[in-house]
Amino acid sequence: MFDLKDLYQEVIVDHNRRPRNFGALPDADRKLEGFNPLCGDRLTLYVKVAGDRIEDIRFDGTGCAISVASASLMTEAMKGKTLGEARKTFESFHEMVTARDGGGRGAALGKLAALAGVRDYPARVKCATLCWHTLHSLLHGGAAPVSTE
């Protein structure tokens, strides 16, 4: 039996209650919507890129604790990162929450490792990855809203 505490870790409960970098970014130079039509989770991601670097990143929207906490943690982790670093983190994160053994990436992901528990909840993986797919698409020039389906 999986321990519920592995999913709803303190970090997640905290970031759900007080999401960081929450609210629109007025001088964003890119923004993109992500949508999970199955559960109605909806977020908008705002990014300001300076040269090769994510200078600022914020989000707003509604969703479950996993999706809000994941977006909050993501914005924290991505601020100041280069586009290359962002892509690498996206890949590691994806591996962590989908690979059977977690891809052994948890340790390298710092606070983001709090979301490793979703691996045991297949119905919830999309909640955790919605913000990441949205970021990935946004950084690759995507303009169409991202959907999990």
Where on the chain is the footprint of other proteins (CB under 8 A)? 1-2, 4, 7-8, 13, 16-17, 38-42, 62-66, 68, 121, 123-124, 127
Residue (42 or 53) nearer to other proteins, CB:
42
Query: Measured between alpha carbons, how far is 112 from 11 in angstroms, rounded to an integer?
Result: 9
CA dihedral of residues 100, 120, 79, 88 (deg, nearest 10): 10
Shortest Cβ 56–other proteins spacing (Å): 27
The CA-based angle 86-72-12, given to 5 degrees, is 120
Query: Measured between alpha carbons, how far is 41 from 56 in angstroms, rounded to an integer?
Result: 23
Residue (92 or 134) nearer to other proteins, CB:
134
Shortest Cβ 65–other proteins spacing (Å): 5
Shortest Cβ 97–other proteins spacing (Å): 15
- 73 with 94: CB under 8 angstroms? no
The helix (run of H) or strand (run of E) holding residue 105 is none
Residue (63 or 106) nearer to other proteins, CB:
63
Q: What are phi and psi of 121, to 5 degrees?
A: -125, 80
Residue (22 or 87) nearer to other proteins, CB:
22
Shortest Cβ 141–other proteins spacing (Å): 29
